[in-house]
Chain A
Amino acid sequence: MEDQILALTAELAAVKSAAQVTNTMFAEAYYYLTIPLMVIIHAGFLLYEMGQTRVKNVLSSGIKNLLAFAFTIITFYLFGWWFYWALPTFPVTSLTAAAGYMEISGLAYASAIALPWGDSAQYMGPNMADHASGVFWGAFALFAATTASIASGALIERIQTVGFVICAIVLGSFAWVVAAAWGWHADGWLVTEFGFHDFGAAGLVHAVAGFFALGILVNLGPRVGKFNADGSANKISGHNLPLTVTGLMLIIVGFFGFLMACIILPGEGWSWYADQGTTIYGTPMTLSALAFNVCLAASGGIIGAWVFTKDPFWMMSGCLAGIISVASGLDVYFGSHVIIISLVAGMILKPCADWVESLGIDDAVGAVTVHGTIGLFGVVVLGVFGSGIPGLGAFAPEGTVAISLYGQIVGAVVMFLLGFVPGYIVSWLVHKAGMLRIPEAVQIRGLDVVKVPAQAYPESMVSDESDSK
Chain B
Amino acid sequence: MTEKGANASPAIIEVQHLSRRFDDRQALHDLSLTVPRGGVFGLIGGNGAGKTTLIRHLLGMLKAQQGSVRVFGLDPVAAPAAVLGRIGYLSEDRDLPNWMRLQDLLRYTQAFYPAWDSVYAEELRKNFDLNPATRVKSLSRGQRARAGLLIALAHRPELLVLDEPSSGLDPVVRRDILGSIIRTVADEGRTVLFSSHLLDEVERVADRVAIIHEGRILLTSEMEQIRESHRRLVLQFRKSTNDPPPLDGMLDRTGSGTEWTYWCAGISNS
A and B form one complex? no
